[in-house]
A and B are shown apart, each in its own frame.
Chain A
């Protein structure tokens, strides 16, 4: 696939003899929402952590727009255009919502080293524009530490969009949210991804979210990819039914 933003080939990882991820290959294209699903312990998190630089794979290639990123630190991968959100939100709790987004913008512009200028003077308009897109502009002055969980998720999304990413990695983006909020957040993500032509890879437990929001789905079981395709194809796949429903059904 020539238009793939992220291309993964033959990814392997084992922990003390236990094969956590074996020979996983897939690709995500620009503007596409790809869901990575699988039962607990299937190797989703391991897979994710190898893509974002927190874990080194035993073997395999991870290419971002053609460039091999295996062995790079998370912050270097971010510089290449990968935004991330976390299963448990990670924001700067003592800073305001706007300042949180401004941090990412300052960092992107390489302007965090200044010791004498006042933080917050630059990029305020850019930060507000991002907050407007995720519907958090009205809370820009509030401290992140006091926000509701669903709002924090949206702040994270704004932060993740700050470096104009080519790829968004979202680990359980709707974990801990009310069902209604979940769909709304992923609809928002899908809209932004298409408008900005961003590739999105996300893991998710909520099947409603997965089957309504993903363009394609890949299914991991015991470290091995067992199915992949459109939601309809995956829904009809007997392997997937066996994994999720048990082979007796």
Chain B
């Protein structure tokens, strides 16, 4: 059925589908569909068709919040094997589904009602859009006859979400609504992943239909190039072979494209130093000698030196965001760029690609592997990179008589957990420390809001990550006090669902990153960044039914973290860190990566 769907044009659609219906008498359907479907009852309503589409796509979990216009879909879910996690807020539903998508590789599904339900999803959808995370959002809508009349809880959801979705659809036919959901699911996953949304008017989901949804396929106007042009591959390979100062830059696309293994092999075989972007964390083991870790605004000094001085930069699955590049004029100014990306629009968008390689990351890296015969002679360059690693060490000062330093806490959490532990974060200083001081070795273990920078991402994403993760993977949310306050109602979900997560709130009673910038760029005027007071998060956790811990001194750190990780259920550690701690190195906005500051007076 899927192949036929791809072949027919919309004009023939009606007719063709009639034929399918005709031939799809119960016995015929058994022949053409998978075995699991044989036991399912035929659909009778649009809502059942929506749920059937999700089941056919292999969806096991959904995250959402009930409400008027989405009620028919929830009613259909009642009979489904799909496990629904009832969230405390729709923003949390979108972030949880997003994290589920990051960890599992399959689109996470979130549901919300019309109006405020849909608008509350928007932050999470925008986050998925910026980070190319596979996400399917289903929103209820007022009945079609009310649309456009400013009805109760009516919002133009497709209008609001067009700029932040890969594709969205207003469903207008009970016979088609299931297939709309199938197609949106496929679009969220295929090619460059991203968020899709289907808006579901109540009369359409309530409407009668006996039409089974089409299989989850992308429309025929959507084409994805898998293999890069062989001539450009050959030219890029020659450039790499002749390079004196090569560097690999691995982005989030490496992880999404399941290319981490291929990249590791390529880097190790040719002894090319490896830098990652923030979403690329985990694509290459940070404990490997070739790893220079993350570059950019708060990247390591050695990664920023290497990216600034390399003569050949092999960027894979990265969009050269401004937090990575700093000022364009001074970004890798001596480097010829080999740019691998599945989205042609990312090629030469921000940084001109001398060797544009459009295609799937894993496929193209394998093409490059085949084409590169000789490793570049870069012994001197590798020695230089090692020298930078020692010159710009990330070692920090942690005197016993000062408040607890946040870096120490991150290292202790890393120490207390396995290599496959998953870290989620909010946004701010704590997020940067979690990047810098946790040693990541596996893909899909770093879950964060990179492009959008959405405070409040940490706890709901830990919920989604927990559900997608294997049982032996710990899930640790490194949060800030400001970020945690934004979505901590999600604790009620974690407790109800008995989710084993550990939230470590690095509490400095500031919006710390803003405070750091105010000290550096606004004469220390702490406008609206100084909370001055925070609730006691350990007691708050207890009130929710979670397990609360508190750390004030270095002596408490190891023991408390061990106890919190060992607790089988949600735990929260309120970690009172040094309120004056700052994140370094730092490249100011639009600055030169090679001129990163190591102290405030260098900014």
Q: Are chains A and B native binding partners rather than an unrelated pairing?
A: no
Interface residues of A (CB under 8 A from B): none
Which residues of B does A touch, CB under 8 Å? none
